[in-house]
Amino acid sequence: MKYTDINVNEFSLKLNSDYNYVLLDVRTANEVAEAHIGEPLNIDIFEEDFAEKIAKLDKSKNYLVYCRSGRRSASACIFMAENGFTGELFNLEGGILAWLSQQAN
């Protein structure tokens, strides 16, 4: 697999760094409306056109990918790695649930 699971602290550091990361939320639009991190690009992994939308992204960029708990985003990272993405792919361990829990502390 060509992606890396990272924790909330690492995700936050990368998100706030000077590097050109693309923040990708693979949850449903309703989930994104409830809570999200920053200003994410939202491509729902459950939608029929997920592969088509992912294929239109810049494969050379680095992506910070998240979902609710980290499972869907891990699947998205695997899909991206298998479909020619050459930039770094990072999956948020525990997803937005972990993020929100950390922010509450």
d(CA 69, CA 60): 26
Answer for the pair 53, 46: CB distance below 8 angstroms, yes or no: no
Return the active site residues: 67
Sequence-distant contacts of 42-46: CB under 8 A, at least 24 apart: 43/76, 45/72, 45/75, 45/76
